[in-house]
Amino acid sequence: MDPLILASECDPAKEIICAPTNVIELFQFDEALFSIGPMDFTRTVILTFLAMFIVIGLLYFAFRTPRVVPTKFGAAMESLVLFVRDDVAKGTIGPDGIKYAPYLLSMFLFILVANLFEVTPFINFPLTSRMAIPLFLAVLTWVIFVFVGFKKNGISYLTGIIWPKSVPVALRWLVGLIEFFSTFLLRPITLAVRLFANLVAGHLMLTLLLGSGWIFMSAIGDIGIRSIIGLPWFVFGLGIFVFELVVAVLQAYIFTLLSAVYIQTSVHPEH
Amino acid sequence: MFELFYALEEAAEESSGIDLLLPETSELIAGILAFSIIFLVVWKFALPKLSQILEARQQAITGQLTEAESAKKEAESLLDDYKEQVAGARKEANQIVDDARQSGEALRTDIVAKADAEAAEIAEKARKEASAERERAASRIRDEVAALSLDVAQKVVAGTVDEGAQRDLVARYIDDLGGMG
């Protein structure tokens, strides 16, 4: 898809500058394929539902029939789910963490599939490079940890943050101010932007390197030997492709783990 | 390539980059919907099902272990039984051999004793017979000697000695013989 966009903007015979007129074109697919009420079913929206079906399908086929000896796929899904349930949820939050396991697991699988779309052939587009999903999940995490904080600790959750007893009195107001902003304002923003920006950068790099490399190389008939410049870009792009595979998994893990850590600080604020 | 990036940057500045940072309503709705459905599936299906699978697996493994344990115990008790039986059989065999040896020994002793007794009896009988024979022979010899001596004496001293004196003489003679014999 993206090389096509690039190609439409590119005329290597005339000028060695290949760029879409607007970088946002790499991320926005405005034309709705169809609409239901206010919902425009753009490519991104359809991919979002595709991601949902993939996650549900993975879970369904992995756990449909209980087996004493799991299949290879079942065992892989089991270890993935148990990793989030036991290591991330219980391991970070404590025994209480099991309550948050459904949330953290849904988040992890959804983000993981959405991220992996970046390196999925024929899709080549990470859903998380659009702000909707990262922002929604970050805000949801914020709502959860603020709610849990007040529910578990009452008003002392707030006072513990803005008037931290473990800090010398002279500095308390300053640390309290920083903590207040960091907890209630910055956390959701950093959480969302970390994921979003990583995937935007990854998608940009892949699109530019693979796309422009490919366009230069395939224009060998028009521009002759100069098209060789596309080869290093393309090879470099393939390297980044593998790197982005790691980034996709890692960012899903980081988002989930940080959500767990934020919830943990609300469950046990003294730590 | 710098020109490329430059061109990109310029392009991004031209169109307000904030568009990239703000979520599109349709995408937001889709994300919320998709996540909610995933959450429901994870919450109501995946995690309970996984717990169920793990529990069933644990039970199956525990059951198999218990079964194996009981089978092992049974085998062990069976082995003990067999060992006991073998030991019993061996003991019995030893007993039988022992008994046979003892009864053989007893039989032998018995036979030997009987034979000894019989031999002793035979010897005794022979001795008695011999002694009786000798007695008989001695008495017959004595009688004959007496008769002979009487005859001789009669011939030597015919008429000089009366019959009573002769008899006394003979008797004395015989007694002397007896004392010698």
Element (H, E) at B95: helix B47-156
Residue with tokens 């007896």: B178
Comparing CB atoms, the residue among A38, A82, A136 nearest residue B35 is A136
Average pLDDT over every residue of B88-106: 94
DSSP state of B23: P
* CA A76 and chain centroid, separation: 21
pLDDT over 90 (residue A190): yes
Q: How many CA within 13 A on the CB side of residue B121?
A: 6
Give the pLDDT confidence of B53-68 residue by residue, as tens digits.
889 889 989 999 999 9
Best of B13, B26, B28, B67 to mutate (most A CBs within 10 Å, chain A): B26
**Does residue A154 contact residue A88 with C-beta atoms inside 8 Å?**
no
pLDDT at A140 over 60: yes
Residue A10, φ and ψ in degrees, nearest 5: -115, 130
For residue A220, the model assigns a pLDDT of 79
Q: pLDDT > 70: what percent of chain A?
A: 90
What is the pLDDT, as a whole number, of residue A113?
A: 96
**Interhelix angle B163-180/B47-156, nearest 10 degrees:** 150
pLDDT-derived band of residue A4, with 50, 70 and 90 as boundaries? very low
Residue range A54-107, pLDDT digits in tens: 999 999 999 888 777 888 998 999 999 999 999 999 999 999 899 999 999 999
Instruction: Give the pLDDT band (50/70/90) at residue B164.
Output: confident
| pLDDT of A1 | 41
Beta-carbon separation of A17 and B30 below 8 A = no
**Model pLDDT, residue B46:** 92
What is the model's pLDDT at position A38? 76
Q: What is the pLDDT of residue A101?
A: 95
User: Which residues of B touch chain A, with CB atoms under 8 Å apart?
Assistant: 1, 3-4, 7-8, 11-12, 14-15, 17, 19-35, 37-39, 41-43, 45-47, 49-50, 52-53, 56-57, 60-61
Q: Are the Cβ atoms of A67 and B20 closer than 8 angstroms? A: no
- A-chain residue closest to B17, CA distance: A24
Give the per-residue pLDDT at B16: 58
Structure confidence at residue B4 (pLDDT): 53
Q: Encode pLDDT of A156-180 as tens digits.
A: 898 888 888 888 888 888 999 999 9
User: Tokens 């169920």, residue?
Assistant: B52
Nearest CA to CA, how far is B38 from chain A (Å)? 6
Quick one: average pLDDT of B81-109?
94
Domain spans, chain B: 19-180
Whether residue B34 has pLDDT greater than 50: yes
pLDDT value of residue B1: 44
The pLDDT of residue A215: 83
pLDDT of residue B109: 93
Which has the higher per-residue pLDDT, B107 or A3?
Answer: B107
Over the stretch A214-229, which tens digit does the pLDDT of each residue have? 888 888 777 778 888 8
Rg of the Cα trace of chain B?
A: 68
CA distance B70 to B152: 120
Q: Which residues of B131-161 are buried (b: 16+ CB within 10 A; e: fewer)?
A: eeeeeeeeeeeeeeeeeeebeeeeeeeeeee
**B162 has pLDDT over 60:** yes
The pLDDT tens digits of the residues spanning B124-139 come to 999 999 999 999 999 9
Using an 8 Å Cβ cutoff, are A229 and A107 in contact?
Answer: no
CB A23 within 8 A of CB B8: yes
Query: In angstroms, rounded to a whole number, what is the distance separating the alpha carbons of residues A250 and A247?
Result: 5
- Once rounded to an integer, what is the mean pLDDT over residues A234-244? 93
Q: Which two tokens stand for residue A94?
A: 């404590």
For residue B64, what are its two tokens?
A: 């198999």
Radius of gyration for chain A, computed over Cα atoms and rounded to the nearest angstrom: 23
Report which of A85, A72, A151, A258 is spatially closest to residue B48, judged by C-alpha positions.
A85
Share of chain B above pLDDT 90, in %: 55
Please check the confidence at residue B178 and state whether its pLDDT lies above 90: no
Got the DSSP string for A82-125? Answer: HIIIIIIIIHHH-GGGGGGHHHHHHHHHHHHHHHHGGGSTTT--
**Averaged confidence pLDDT in chain A:** 87
Q: What is the rounded average pLDDT of the residues A32-41? A: 80
**pLDDT for position A13:** 57
Distance (Å) from the alpha carbon of A270 to chain B's nearest alpha carbon: 30
